[in-house]
Amino acid sequence: MDGPNSSGYGMAVSASSGSTLIEPREDIREAAMRPVFDKGRWWKFIVGGLSAVVLLGIIAWAVQLADGLGVAGYNNRAFWAVYEADLVAFIGVSYGGAVVSAILRLTKASWRAPLTRIAEATALVTLPIGMLFIVPHLGEPSRIWELVWPPYWNLSSPILWDFIAVSTYLLATAVFFYLPLIPDAKIALERISPEDHSLKARTLRVLYRSVAGRYSGSYSDRRLLHGSIGLVAIMIIPMAVSVHSVLSFAFASSSRAGYLETIFPVYFVVAALYSGVALVVISAALLRKAYHLERYITSRHFVRLGFIIAAMGAAYLYLTFTEYLIDGYSSTRDEAAWVRQILIGRYWIPFWFYFVAAGVLPLVIIATKRFRNTKGVVVASSFIVFAMWIKRLVIVIPPATEALVKSPLKVATTTGAGHLATTASAWGTYHFTWVPISITLAATAAIPLLLLVLFKFVPILPISEMEEMAEVDEVIEAAQVAMERPGSWGGRLSTLHRGSAMTRARVYEQSRRQEQ
């Protein structure tokens, strides 16, 4: 049965979306395109508000450009602090796309389907924001071009490796976003009424045509597409692991206690996966609410993501515990001092906040049946994203502020007058000022801002993928009924892989042939 073929655009199109292979689902298509055609005024208000926050951040950065990094609270002891933590945090939260889209795809978890577009979009949006943090981090951002100028390159530098790795990952994320968009762009193209000649419609048509290209929905096209997406999914996983490992090398390349940790690469990757999935949960929850996608993104999705979060959270807690236990047990004076400062010293508040909010709480929420629902998981995720940012600060700041010429373990000494006097050797301090806070808030605001803007152009659900999944469900149902009939091909279903698109296509063809 053909779905409503609303386009009437030429032969090439009619052979595709009303494809003989996959049935179009009007409900999915309408829901996916809802944000594009939505005319709610709330969008303008929210985008306006977020833009104001972003603008504040830009102003703060301009102030920093004029006055130097000193206005951001930095000093010779706290030479690395909030911007470096932001770099790690924001690049880290982009890993949700890798997990939800790539890993779940390769493990054939078909329930992920409605989330992939949102996950990939979150990754695509947060990664450039994370990369942009290098600009406030640098003392001389006007010379940032030197990073892309090979004659100046120092190939031993971890920062250069970072730059190469993150750029590659950005390309991979972009390609991974683009490829599943191709069939969806074709579908979206048809959803634009041909009589619509507004600027928006014209822009969308141009956009969809350029993305969709000559995609026809035929078997060979699908095979090509699915093969490519599978290939990129396979590539993106080791890339994700290596990118955050390389990011950790920037810290681990020094000899400072607290930075020179062999666990850092694993630590950073797990942290990224953890906070990334949490961010995907938050974006999915917010977008679902805004565009009423409850039918497609159900509590089942959130609970399953919650399980993933719990697994990652437990892993991260384990790594944290390992690091501090080993360093605190039989360590040099440097490491002992550092562990002490984090657990019971100057930095105990942010560390234990992490422990409660992103260590224990999410596990408790997921473990308790009562809280294991959409709301619980979203609450846990909100805590996770914030607490993991705090944890990144705990990772970055204490080793930087450590005195390398030995200092007494106590922070301050009392003078004769009874005042606490900090000696020059005390743990250096980093003080937050409005500048880095504004810039961090701006970056945080930029994520929903860019997502909202992006989904004005891009279907929020992966239409093609979801239709294929729905098809498979029906086929399997039909096949299960058919299994009762003798001589049916039901036996072959035992090897049916739900998630494989090629198998789905084959099964579908075969079932059609059988029925004829």
Partner 1 sequence: MKKVLVPKIFVSVAMLVGLSTAAVWWLFPGMADAATVSNSSVAQPSLTVQASEVPGKAVATVSAVLTPLYSPTGASMVPPGAKAYFYVHLTQFQSSPLLLLGSSPLNSGGAAQISYQPTWKGQQQVVVEVENSAGKSLYQGSTSFVATRFVAPFKGTVEAIRPDGGIGRAVVVALLTIVALVWIALLATAVRVNLGMGMNASQKTASV
Partner 2 sequence: MEHLSLRQKEQKEEHSVSNGDGAKPRDGSLDTSQVVTPVALPMGRRSFLRKALATGVGAAALGTGLLETRDHRQVTLAGTKLASSTQSATTHQWCMVIDLRYCDGCKACTAACQRAHYLHEDQTWIRVFDMTDASGNKYHMPRPCMMCEDPACVPVCPVSANFRTEEGLTLVDQSRCIGTRICMNACPYQARYFNWTDPVPAPRQPFPQEPSWPVPQVKGTVGKCIFCAAMLPMGKLPECVSGCPMGVLYLGDLSSDVAVNSFGNTIKLSQFLYENDAVKFKESYGTHPRVFYILGHGQNLESDKEG
Q: Which long-range contacts (CB under 8 A, 24 or more apart) does 325-332 make?
A: 327/257, 327/258, 327/261, 331/257, 332/257
d(C-alpha 59, C-alpha 65), whole Å:
10
Pull the structure tokens for residue 24. 């179009």
Considering only residues 249 to 268 of the shown chain, the ones binding partner 2 according to CB under 8 A are 250-251, 253-256, 259
Measured from the CB atom, the residue of 231 and 356 that comes closer to partner 1 is 231
Sign for the CA dihedral angle at 270, 271, 276, 282 comes to: positive
**238, 405, 491, 515: which one binds partner 2 (CB under 8 A):** 405
491 binds, among partner 1, partner 2, none (CB under 5 to 8 A by kind): none
H or E segment and range at residue 127 = helix 116-132
Instruction: Determine if 220 is a binding residue for partner 2 (CB under 8 A).
Output: no
Considering only residues 13 to 32 of the shown chain, the ones binding partner 1 according to CB under 8 A are 15-16, 20-21
Measured from the CB atom, the residue of 313 and 436 that comes closer to partner 2 is 436
Instruction: Determine if 150 is a binding residue for partner 2 (CB under 8 A).
Output: yes
d(C-alpha 275, C-alpha 182), whole Å:
29
DSSP-derived secondary structure for 151-181: GG--TT-HHHHHHHHHHHHHHHHHHHHHHHH
Instruction: Determine if 228 is a binding residue for partner 1 (CB under 8 A).
Output: yes
219 binds, among partner 2, partner 1, none (CB under 5 to 8 A by kind): partner 1
509 binds, among partner 1, partner 2, none (CB under 5 to 8 A by kind): partner 1
Is 86 within 8 Å of 133 (Cβ atoms)?
A: yes
- Axis-axis angle for helices 434-454, 116-132 (nearest 10): 150
Nearest distance from residue 212's CB to partner 1, in Å?
8
Kindly give, in sequence order, each residue whose CB lies less than 8 Å from that of residue 370, ignoring residues fewer than 6 positions away.
376
Considering only residues 149 to 168 of the shown chain, the ones binding partner 1 according to CB under 8 A are 155-156, 164-165, 168
**1, 10, 76, 210: which one binds partner 2 (CB under 8 A):** 76
Nearest distance from residue 248's CB to partner 1, in Å?
16
Sign for the CA dihedral angle at 265, 229, 169, 127 comes to: negative
Stretch that binds partner 1, among 62-70, 169-177, 304-312, 382-390 (CB under 8 A): 169-177
Nearest distance from residue 121's CB to partner 2, in Å?
30
Stretch that binds partner 1, among 216-224, 268-276, 462-470, 491-499 (CB under 8 A): 216-224
Instruction: Determine if 140 is a binding residue for partner 2 (CB under 8 A).
Output: yes
**SS3 for 352-379, per residue?**
HHHHHHHHHHHHHHHHCHHHCCHHHHHH
d(C-alpha 73, C-alpha 261), whole Å:
26
Nearest distance from residue 437's CB to partner 2, in Å?
18
Instruction: Determine if 44 is a binding residue for partner 1 (CB under 8 A).
Output: no
Instruction: Determine if 141 is a binding residue for partner 2 (CB under 8 A).
Output: yes
Nearest distance from residue 339's CB to partner 2, in Å?
18
d(C-alpha 82, C-alpha 394), whole Å:
10
DSSP 413: E
140 binds, among partner 1, partner 2, none (CB under 5 to 8 A by kind): partner 2
Instruction: Determine if 86 is a binding residue for partner 1 (CB under 8 A).
Output: no
Residues that bind partner 2 (CB under 8 A): 67-71, 74-76, 79-80, 137-141, 143-144, 146-147, 150-160, 163, 250-251, 253-256, 259, 333, 400, 403-408, 413, 423-425
